[in-house]
Structure 1
Amino acid sequence: MSGLSRPRTALDSAAAADAAFAAVAGKPFPADLFSAPRLNWAVIGCGVIANQMAQTLALAGRHLVGVANRTYDKARAFAERYGVERVYKTYAELYADPAIDAVYITTPHNTHIAFLREALAAGKHVLCEKSITLNSAELAEARALAAEHGVVLMDATTILHMPLYRKLLAEARSGAFGPLTLAQVNFGSYKEYGDLTNRFYNPRLAGGAMLDIGVYALTVARLFMASAPDEVVSLANRAQTGVDETSGFVTRNAEGELGVFSLSLHAKQPKRALLSFDRCYVEITDYPRADRAVITWTADGRHEIVEAGEEGYALAYEVADLERAVAGDAEAAGLIDIAADVMDVMTRLRYDWGVYYPEERAIAEAAGVSVAGE
């Protein structure tokens, strides 16, 4: 299909999710979205993203089977709202329940590794919200546990699962676009300074732009690159709490493919990815849950719109991919390799900037620097 992309109105993430749900609410759920045997799911945490998952599954006529939360009353209220059958008083009860096949972890970044250790060791498949861990060492540990216990570990960064990217990647890998030369990716949010204890600026909640929004920017670029970057140069400004607030960085891999990135937590930017290939460039706006891209062909300047999937089903695609991986789909199972490459770059950048979280105190001390916020 040719033409120009239709305009979008800037919305915050919660409003954008609500709008995406509204857009698909009256449509029949795609019959082919879930192609693998169905698993019984439980969620850890009852925040915004857990609510979105419950709402997404409801569109498919599915329900979470279990829920656990730090506060039992919140878990019970969540269960009543979404028809969840099992409410656990402790996380250990969830892990011990043979009726649960897979766990979705939606808690703050710095709590993920503790939940991953226990859930994976209990033989549960795990879908974990971004950022999947704080650093590369934690992710390597989690991957080793998953391998040891024969279960699937999957990163829930939406870009890894949206059908649009699968469609674009198929074209890129066919050679239609030619070699990738440059990826330029922006992501800027405006988070108020008023409450510096919130998760965006609080080092005790693993705040900062890199783990919150940088993971998206790096993931969309890495998907289309031939290999992981081995060179990184950067500059960053830190918030008064010590976490990274604004940054610009450039990556390069062995093939010479460049990634140019800008992030900010206190300056609004469009969520825009521009992937420049030999024969075209591909522009994707609102790329974390994108269902549309515009290709501009170098030879004649022609615009081509590519559409796949629906933004409103973003979390359903994550569930479908984990179930496919459990059923033996190698492509779905291999998504964790992309996540690991991204985590390597995020960890390297944070440490270059001297941004260490309290959980990384020993690493910070070895580097001769202080922990963020201290």
Structure 2
Amino acid sequence: MVQEIRWGIVGLGSIAHTFAKDLALVTGGTLTAVASRSLEKAKAFAGEYGVAHTFDTYDALFESKEVDVVYIATPHTSHEALSIRAMENGKHVLCEKPMGVNPDQVARMIAVAEKNKVFLMEALWSRFNPSIRKAKQLVESGEIGSVGFVHADFAFYALNRDPDNRLLNPDLAGGSLLDIGIYPIFLSYLLLGMPKNIQASSHLYKTGVEMQTSMIFDYEGAQAILYSGLNSKSEMKAEISGSEGSIFLSPRWHEAQGYSIEKEGELVDYNLPTKGKGYTYEIEEVHSCLASGKVQSSMWSHRNSVDLARLLYEVRQKSNIIFPFEQQKEGV
């Protein structure tokens, strides 16, 4: 009998709850340990999901013999350090997106994974969404001809939150780009690859974070128009348009429950509901990779994470968005 993969979670915010619920829907894995800086919070989370082991430090979980793979669900700025500490303890890691705040962080994380011969993947769950996977397949098969235009946006209103909230706090790598702008950028990259040129324009919030960014990615014979924002909502319907038709990913496209194809004036809708919230598919990918002894996913590889980090960083550079901790490092 194959032993179930034992999961641990560090950082027990809302995304960890969603992950735990979806993990329960996936065969081959079980949640055995959770860690929070508050033992009371860890025990409450463990009680809700039937978790056997609780820790009030992340390192205690990393050192536990009861955990095979760790899901890092903490704010952006701690992803690098926590992932590295987990991997140095021989743990496999699924790190919430963005894997690192900048390309240097991602490179260091991959180097540690390679050194310790452990699995590492960025938890870019939309890559595994059935509708997005289908859209990529349709594009590659030539269903809509040569792609000339991609449009994707992601926005919601968040300026009424506490200024110390992770979205609005520059010390926590706040702003729209790393949190939600990563999704439109990812879709363009998934379908068209690395752009030849990037144009970007951002507006800043009073706390110093970027609150909205418009982007144009230029390709040979194609453009992607991308947007993320925290000062209004957007429709969040993605469009992939080619010489012979268009594909539309239903709102909210990053977690699409279906897609549409328009060709020769006819629009056909297809339903593809996700299992649970949709984290199930990235969890299944981790299980599959570990079962076959892989240290990275072929669907979302280390190279893909490096490329995505480079794109996010270049967009930030175009708008002169450097976080305080990055400035301090550059000033040393």
Residue aligning to 1:215 = 182
How far apart are 1:194 and its partner, in Å?
Answer: 5.5
Secondary structure at 2:232's aligned position in 1? strand
1:119 aligns with 2:119: no
Identify if the C-alpha distance between structure 1 residues 95 and 194 changes in structure 2 by more than 3 Å, giving closer, same or farther: closer
1:251 aligns with 2:217: yes
Residue aligning to 2:235 = 270
Task: Identify the match of residue 88 of structure 1 among 45, 52, 55.
Answer: 55
1:11-22 matches, cutoff 5 A: none
| Residue segments in structure 2 that go unaligned for 5+ positions in a row | none
| d(CA) in 2 for partners of 1:81, 1:68 | 14
| d(CA) in 2 for partners of 1:202, 1:215 | 18
Task: Identify the match of residue 151 of structure 2 among 184, 191, 194.
Answer: 184
1:239 aligns with 2:205: yes
Contact conserved, 1:181 with 1:276, CA < 8 A, in 2? Answer: yes
Contact conserved, 2:5 with 2:30, CA < 8 A, in 1? Answer: no
Contact conserved, 2:93 with 2:120, CA < 8 A, in 1? Answer: yes
Residue aligning to 2:318 = 352
State the Cα deviation string for residues 20-39 of structure 1 (Å, max 9, x = none): xxxxxxxxxxxxxxxx9741
Q: Which range moved further: 85-94 or 195-204?
A: 85-94
**Normalized against structure 2, the TM-score is what?**
0.91
How far apart are 1:99 and its partner, in Å?
Answer: 2.8
| d(CA) in 2 for partners of 1:147, 1:71 | 32
| d(CA) in 1 for partners of 2:157, 2:202 | 17
Residue aligning to 1:301 = 265
Residue aligning to 2:141 = 174
Residue identity opposite 1:303 in structure 2:
L
State the Cα deviation string for residues 260-303 of structure 1 (Å, max 9, x = none): 11221011111121111222111112112112011111xx2111
Contact conserved, 1:289 with 1:311, CA < 8 A, in 2? Answer: no
1:1-374 matches, cutoff 5 A: 38-60=4-26, 63-193=30-160, 195-225=162-192, 227-253=193-219, 255-284=220-249, 285-297=251-263, 300-310=264-274, 312-328=276-292, 332-336=297-301, 337-362=303-328, 365=331
Residue aligning to 1:22 = none
| d(CA) in 2 for partners of 1:217, 1:260 | 9
Identify if the C-alpha distance between structure 1 residues 277 and 338 changes in structure 2 by more than 3 Å, giving closer, same or farther: farther
Residue identity opposite 2:139 in structure 1:
A
| d(CA) in 2 for partners of 1:350, 1:248 | 11
| d(CA) in 2 for partners of 1:313, 1:100 | 24
Residue identity opposite 2:6 in structure 1:
N
Q: Structure 1 segments of 4 or more deviating over 6 A?
A: none
Identify if the C-alpha distance between structure 1 residues 224 and 306 changes in structure 2 by more than 3 Å, giving closer, same or farther: farther
Identify if the C-alpha distance between structure 1 residues 359 and 95 changes in structure 2 by more than 3 Å, giving closer, same or farther: same
Identify if the C-alpha distance between structure 1 residues 166 and 155 changes in structure 2 by more than 3 Å, giving closer, same or farther: same
How far apart are 1:344 and its partner, in Å?
Answer: 0.9
Q: Which range moved further: 309-318 or 95-104?
A: 309-318
Secondary structure at 1:232's aligned position in 2? strand
State the Cα deviation string for residues 304-331 of structure 1 (Å, max 9, x = none): 2233341624111111111222234799
Q: Which range moved further: 37-46 or 267-276?
A: 37-46
| d(CA) in 2 for partners of 1:268, 1:327 | 41
| d(CA) in 1 for partners of 2:267, 2:24 | 37
State the Cα deviation string for residues 316-359 of structure 1 (Å, max 9, x = none): 11111112222347993340333322211111111232222232
| d(CA) in 2 for partners of 1:240, 1:311 | 40
Contact conserved, 2:144 with 2:245, CA < 8 A, in 1? Answer: yes
| d(CA) in 1 for partners of 2:114, 2:290 | 12
Residue identity opposite 2:265 in structure 1:
G
Identify if the C-alpha distance between structure 1 residues 180 and 38 changes in structure 2 by more than 3 Å, giving closer, same or farther: farther
| d(CA) in 2 for partners of 1:334, 1:125 | 17
State the Cα deviation string for residues 149-189 of structure 1 (Å, max 9, x = none): 11221111221111222222222222222222111112221
State the Cα deviation string for residues 26-75 of structure 1 (Å, max 9, x = none): xxxxxxxxxx9741100001110111111222344764111011112111
Identify if the C-alpha distance between structure 1 residues 357 and 54 changes in structure 2 by more than 3 Å, giving closer, same or farther: same
Residue identity opposite 1:267 in structure 2:
S
Residue identity opposite 1:342 in structure 2:
L
**Normalized against structure 1, the TM-score is what?**
0.82
State the Cα deviation string for residues 124-153 of structure 1 (Å, max 9, x = none): 111111222111110111111112211221
Residue identity opposite 1:45 in structure 2:
G
Identity of aligned residues (%): 29
| Aligned length in residues | 327
Residue identity opposite 1:220 in structure 2:
L
Identify if the C-alpha distance between structure 1 residues 139 and 194 changes in structure 2 by more than 3 Å, giving closer, same or farther: closer
| Residue segments in structure 1 that go unaligned for 5+ positions in a row | 1-35, 367-374
